[in-house]
Amino acid sequence: MPSALAPDTPPALAGEAAPLAPAHTDWLRNRLRVSGPAAQVAGFREAAAGSGVIPWQYDLERLREDWFLQLAGPPDGERAISLAGARILSQRLRDAVAAGQQRAVARMAADDDRRCPFDLHRLLPVPEPILSLGPDDPQARAWLWAHWGTTRALRRVREVPARRDGRQRRMDALAVEFWSADWSPWQALRRLRRTWPALVLELRPDYAGPGDG
Tens-place pLDDT, residues 163-196: 776 666 789 999 999 999 989 999 999 999 999 9
Within this chain, do residues 88 and 178 fall inside the same structural domain, yes or no?
Answer: no
- Is residue 87 included in any domain, yes or no? yes
Length of the chain measured in residues: 213
Within this chain, do residues 191 and 149 fall inside the same structural domain, yes or no?
Answer: yes
Within this chain, do residues 46 and 58 fall inside the same structural domain, yes or no?
Answer: no
The H or E element that residue 46 is part of is: helix 38-48
Number of domains in the chain: 2
pLDDT score of 141 more than 70: yes
49 φ/ψ angles, rounded to the nearest 5 degrees: -80, 130
d(CA 201, CA 7): 11
DSSP code for 7:
P
Within this chain, do residues 35 and 124 fall inside the same structural domain, yes or no?
Answer: yes
d(CA 96, CA 126): 23
Within this chain, do residues 76 and 177 fall inside the same structural domain, yes or no?
Answer: no
Within this chain, do residues 141 and 191 fall inside the same structural domain, yes or no?
Answer: yes
pTM over 0.85: no
Q: In the beta sheet, which residues pair with residue 104? A: none
Within this chain, do residues 144 and 44 fall inside the same structural domain, yes or no?
Answer: yes
| Domain-ending residue, one of 98, 114, 130 | 114
Q: In the beta sheet, which residues pair with residue 202? A: 33
